[in-house]
Amino acid sequence: MTETLTDILELLVLEPAGPDVFIGPQPDGRNRRVFGGQVAAQALMAAGRTAPERAPHSLHLYFLRPGDPRAPLRYTVTTLRDGGTFSARAVMVTQGDDRVILEALASFAEPVDVVDYQQPMPDVPAPETLLPMEVQLADYADRHDGFWVQPRPVSMRYVDPPPLMAADMADPPAPVTRLWFRADGDLPSDPLTASALLAYISDWSILDPVLYATRRPPVSHSIASLDHAMWFHRPPDFSDWLLYHQHSPSGVGARGLSTGEIYNRAGQLVCTVVQEGYLGRS
């Protein structure tokens, strides 16, 4: 895992490599493959660099192949449209000899004050009343070299049992997980970087409800992300806690679907996330 928030934000600083082409840095570590949230965040940054006057409003990605963490990531952006309100971009992510690992579509929009409604935030305990995840998982400190109890760049407090605990429960909980999270460190000031950071974080736990439903611990490497979609409703405020409400409406054909809503402390819907995972790996 990337050790600090600064480490994550440094991954979002892309190097120009030609017209609408960018190189994404890789973290120092021994990961077997590139973290999907990293590629999602960098793809959004690359697309946003070509539409600087507009804020992200949606992102749709297909994970095509595992990325090699030892090789640089190349982001090639194609302008599809610049309209009066929306700008659309396609992003192809490659490594090596044009080996495609991800394709994305991103849309950016001008602010339009016409309609404002949302579903209410779930009624959950305040984050101050909950234990940090590393405290909840203290009994698992001897697993994976202490991975589950080490400090994280983003504090996480689960309302429901974390998947590692849920997998050991005699009666599996419903495929719903709710957790608060808050970034610890110097926070991004521009909307594009804040949205990209949210894209990075959104991939950490979105498939938790699928793990619940299938009784799989999160360390089994038996689930792989197929695609990921996000709709950005309001700018995220990382200086306070954000609630991530995740649920799985379906699992069929070795695929598990999970949806998530991210709310701020005031109850405003910040972002909607959808991801499907493939369960055929072992």
Q: Mean pLDDT lowest for which of 34-38, 62-66, 82-86, 139-143? A: 139-143
User: Which one-letter DSSP state was computed for residue 154?
Assistant: E
Residue 93 CB neighbours (<10 A): 27
| 282 pLDDT more than 50 | no
C-beta contacts of 51-54 below 8 A and 24+ residues apart:
51/82, 51/87, 51/89, 51/108, 54/86, 54/87, 54/108, 54/109, 54/110
Is the predicted pLDDT of residue 206 greater than 50, yes or no?
yes
Is the model's pLDDT at 20 over the cut of 50? yes
pLDDT tens-digit profile of 111-160?
A: 888 888 999 999 999 999 999 999 988 888 887 777 777 878 899 999 99
Bigger pLDDT: 2 or 35? Answer: 35
Distance CA 5, CA 32 (A): 21
Q: What percent of the chain has pLDDT over 90?
A: 71
What sections of the chain are H helices per DSSP? Answer: 5-11, 36-49, 133-136, 163-166, 191-205, 208-214
Contact predicate 255/277, CB 8 Å: yes
- Residue 7 has what pLDDT? 92
User: What pLDDT score does 281 carry?
Assistant: 57
Number of H helices, E strands in the chain: 6, 12
* The predicted structure's pLDDT at residue 139: 85
Average pLDDT over residues 79-87: 97
- Residues 5 and 189: their CA atoms lie apart, in Å, by 14
What is the DSSP secondary-structure string of 199-253?
A: HHHHHHHTTHHHHHHHT--TTS---EEEEEEEEE-S---TTS-EEEEEEEEEEET
Q: Per-domain residue ranges for the chain?
A: 1-112, 123-282
The answer to whether residues 125 and 146 touch, using CB atoms and an 8 Å cutoff, is no
Percent of the chain with pLDDT over 70: 96
Whole-number pLDDT of residue 141: 82
Q: What is the mean pLDDT of residues 223-251?
A: 95
Cα(91)–Cα(164) distance, rounded to whole angstroms? 35
pLDDT digits (tens, 9 = 90+) for 156-199: 999 999 888 888 888 878 899 999 999 988 888 899 999 999 99
Averaged pLDDT, 31-53: 94
In sequence order, what DSSP letters do the residues of 16-33 get, joined into one string? E-STTEEEE---SS--SS
Q: In what order do the strands lie in the sheet with 99-109?
A: 15-16, 21-24, 73-82, 86-95, 99-109, 55-63, 224-232, 269-278, 255-264, 242-252, 176-183, 154-158
Residue 69 has pLDDT above 60, yes or no: yes
Q: Judge if 1-112 and 123-282 fold alike in CATH terms.
A: yes
> Which residues are annotated as catalytic?
203, 225, 275
Read off the pLDDT band of 207 (50, 70, 90).
Answer: very high
Statement: residue 247 has pLDDT above 90: yes
Q: Residue 85's pLDDT is what?
A: 95
| Homologous superfamily of domain range 1-112 | Acyl-CoA thioesterase, double hotdog domain (2.40.160.210)
Q: What is the architecture, at CATH level 2, of domain 123-282? A: Beta Barrel (2.40)
Cβ atoms of 217 and 163 closer than 8 Å: yes
pLDDT band at 251 (very low <50, low <70, confident <90, very high): very high
